[in-house]
Amino acid sequence: MRITAPTCASVLVILSLSAGCRGKNPAAPTAASGPPPPTSENLTNALSLTDFSLTGWHDGTFHYLPMVSVSAPSTGGTIYVQRVAFTTSTSGAPTNLVGILFGSPRRVVSPGGTLDLFKGVSPVEITSPVALASITATVSFNNEVGETGTVAVTEDAPPLAPNSSSAALVIQAFSVIGSPDQGYYWPKLTLTEASGVSRALIKKMTFEWLDVGPPGRVPTVWEPHEIPAGGTITLENADYGGPWFEISRPADASRLSLAISFVDDAGRGAVVTAVVPVSR
């Protein structure tokens, strides 16, 4: 896996809009939000939000991962999904959380078809310092002649107990090797579950080159890993024999940080961090 920092997928532009949630996902680019497009009465029934579900965990921060599927009636026309916005209600007023703009490839829903909007892309993550009661997904779309519409569904957020994880993940070793001439580096990790009573299930890993600002941000690693209770794994090579993870380094960066978010067998989360110096 080769990741250049910073990187932005051509499919999505993720908008972290809530002041309470900003800065929790350093890999997500931010952008200004505009008002939703006007809704055409002609498109009121042109698209339905057939599945909106939420999963998540708590590791000091509340993490929510949404899944959204939409369907078009067989009697209608082709629909093009433009945007999905996630909001919550704070004291009766809507609060923006995350918005996704779809670029290439386009999200096209044929008559009678159903489409998973996030299939084939990295998970969309909503983070909050406090537990959310509910989350609303609003899908904006248009048809072949440019008429626009929206459809929205609200779901209760899953309860995420802030209890401590019974798994104890320890970063036994963290080093970075690479090619200064080419600018690519490969982290090597040795991870141990020290409690002996529960597996440690990694939800995500976040690397960041320190002291260089936004250029040091690296997209989140969503590849799952499992460390057996009392066991140890080393992340060095992938199944195909190459490095399991590869990143580029800004020229003036000399330290790389790592944050690993994980849960135990009961879904209770925690986070462990480390920083390693990297020679220039």
Residue boundaries of the structural domains of the chain: 2-156, 169-277
Q: Are 99 and 75 within 8 A, CB to CB?
A: no
Tell me the pairing of strands 246-248 and 2-3: parallel
pLDDT for residue 21: 35
**pLDDT, position 181:** 73
pLDDT for res 8: 35
Q: Do the Cβ atoms of 169 and 263 come closer than 8 Å? A: no
pLDDT given for residue 235 in this prediction: 94
* Strands of the sheet with 269-277, listed across from one edge: 225-227, 200-209, 255-263, 269-277
- Per-10-residue mean pLDDT, the chain, length 280: 40 38 33 42 81 95 96 94 94 90 91 94 93 96 93 95 90 88 87 97 96 92 96 90 87 92 95 89
Residue-wise burial string across 130-167, b where 16 or more C-beta atoms lie within 10 A, e elsewhere: eebeebbbbbbbbbeeebbbbbeeeeebbebeeeebbb
Pick the CATH number of 169-277 from 2.40.50, 2.60.40, 2.30.30, 3.40.50: 2.60.40
Domains 2-156 and 169-277 share a fold: yes
Residue-level pLDDT at 242: 81
Question: Would the CA dihedral through 260, 266, 267, 271 be positive or negative?
Answer: negative
pTM: 0.81
CB 43 within 8 A of CB 151: no
- What integer pLDDT is reported at residue 42 of this predicted model? 57
Residue 177's pLDDT is what? 86
* 2-156, CATH topology level: Immunoglobulin-like (2.60.40)
Which pLDDT score, from 0 to 100, does residue 162 have? 78
